[in-house]
């Protein structure tokens, strides 16, 4: 009985000390809670809302985009000329765990499906690359939760034109940068993530080596969406800024 009483006394003392420690520990402030919460690509791209935007180059409209969510995990985005809306072109994205996957796109009355042969992820300099699993679920387009450091993605595969079965070889390199302050000609004091991408394919010459078709930066603004700013480097120098954005 004495041993039980001594043990109980020790346990009670330990519980008392723990309770006191909890009582004096400072509660997390709202700012600290916000800092520890991980932001997602959805908060920047607005893909889970029926959102849209129109971007301008100089004093004229250059294009328009609109997200059309299909379910909690799937959303389609259309890109095109607002004077001829809706366009025939639209991309399909699916949220799968840690990733947003690009399944392919609709254009010219058919679907172009991505069939991957290899994918890699590495650091901001596209070094220290390691393989990503190929599971037939499209291309690993962007990490769902936004990391603190920039990272590089490389993908190789074929684009299958489902109406004809024609296969187009392609490669896609991206560098995603973490959130940073951004502004454009129409909006200031925003926060953006940046996507640099380089696209190569042999469209029009099946079986031939792939050639570079596009190099550009795209800034995606939190709470606004896509094409906040575009700086294209190849095949021609060109830039545009998002002017209008809305929900529909």
What pTM, to 2 d.p., does this model score? 0.85
> What's the chain's average pLDDT?
89
**Same domain flag for 22 and 130:** no
pLDDT tens digit sequence for 95-139 = 999 999 999 999 999 999 999 999 999 999 999 999 999 977 799
Sequence-separated contacts (24+) of 128-131 with Cβ below 8 Å? 129/154
Task: Please say if the pLDDT value at position 24 is more than 50.
Answer: no
Shared-domain flag, residues 18 and 78: no
Q: How far apart are CA 90 and CA 111, in angstroms?
A: 9
Structural domain for 71, as ranges? 43-247
Residues 48 and 130 in one domain: yes
Q: How many domains does the chain have?
A: 2
Residues 98 and 116 in one domain: yes
Q: Are residues 100 and 208 located together in one domain of the fold?
A: yes
The answer to whether residues 66 and 26 belong to one domain is no
Are 29 and 77 part of one and the same domain? no
On whether both 137 and 30 belong to a single domain, the answer is: no
Q: Are residues 88 and 19 in the same domain?
A: no
Are 77 and 124 in the same domain?
yes
Residues with Cβ within 8 Å of residue 198, at least 6 apart in sequence: 172, 173, 174, 212, 214, 215
* Residue 64: per-residue pLDDT: 98
Same domain assignment for residues 81 and 10: no
**Upper half-sphere CA count for residue 110 (Cβ side, 13 Å):** 10
* Residue 13 shares a structural domain with residue 94: no
Q: Work out the angle at residue 115's Cα, subtended by the Cα atoms of residues 159 and 142, and round it to the nearest 5 degrees.
A: 95
Give tens-digit pLDDT for 59-74.
999 999 999 999 999 9
CA dist 91 to 25, 66, 68, 221, Å? Answer: 50, 11, 10, 19
Average pLDDT of 185-202?
98
Q: What local confidence, expressed as pLDDT, does residue 27 receive?
A: 55
């Amino acid at each position: 009985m004495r041993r039980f009483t001594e043990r109980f006394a020790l346990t009670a003392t330990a519980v008392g000390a723990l309770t006191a420690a909890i009582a004096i520990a400072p509660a997390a402030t709202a700012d600290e809670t916000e800092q520890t919460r991980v932001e997602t690509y959805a908060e920047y791209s607005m893909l889970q809302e029926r959102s849209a935007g129109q971007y301008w180059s100089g004093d004229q409209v250059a294009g328009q985009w609109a997200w059309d969510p299909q379910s909690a995990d799937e959303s389609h985005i259309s890109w095109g000329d607002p004077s001829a809306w809706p366009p025939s072109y639209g991309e399909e994205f699916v949220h799968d765990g840690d990733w947003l996957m690009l399944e392919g796109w609709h254009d010219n009355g058919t679907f172009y499906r991505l069939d991957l042969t290899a994918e890699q992820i590495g650091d901001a300099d596209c070094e220290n690359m390691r393989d990503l699993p190929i599971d037939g679920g499209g291309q690993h387009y962007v990490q769902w939760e936004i990391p603190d450091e920039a990272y590089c993605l490389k993908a190789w595969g074929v684009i299958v034109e489902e109406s004809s079965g024609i296969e187009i070889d392609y490669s896609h390199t991206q560098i995603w940068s973490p959130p940073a302050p951004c502004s454009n000609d129409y909006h200031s004091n925003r926060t953006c993530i940046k996507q640099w991408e380089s696209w190569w394919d042999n469209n029009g010459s099946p079986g031939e080596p792939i050639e570079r078709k596009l190099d550009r930066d795209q800034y995606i603004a939190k709470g606004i969406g896509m094409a906040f700013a575009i700086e294209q480097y190849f095949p021609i120098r060109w830039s545009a800024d998002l002017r209008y954005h809305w929900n529909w």
